[in-house]
Structure 1
């Protein structure tokens, strides 16, 4: 496993692998509607027609629906780990 540098604080690297470029673009579009992002980079992905798409998203600049979801998904002090969680 190669050791890529971690993205800066508040950012996430997303890699999408899809059978077609169109399928990868549709997933990337959903992410761009939820978060600010840089330009996507696409590469061939092994099998014929498959695409690997890389995208960096800024999780500090979420769109309103994502911001609402992120706020409600934050663990509270009252939340406890499930018994099977480490």
Structure 2
């Protein structure tokens, strides 16, 4: 909740800075970049925490959403399962 409040504050500040830029006050133009980066930082932390909570929720479940599954290379995805390896004839 605290992160969302910070995010709202930064977004309001950014909109104010954009308005002042449109009017012609060039004194605060350099601050726009730092505010945008702060918004990105807050969103990054928020999304990481949300994903960690979802991982805890689905930890011992049979099925997981695609975005929470382990990322594998194509070779690992196409590799035979242990059951298939045993079933192979020599």
Fold conserved between structures, TM > 0.5: no
- TM-score, normalised relative to structure 1: 0.25
Q: Which has the higher helix share?
A: 2
- TM-score, normalised relative to structure 2: 0.24
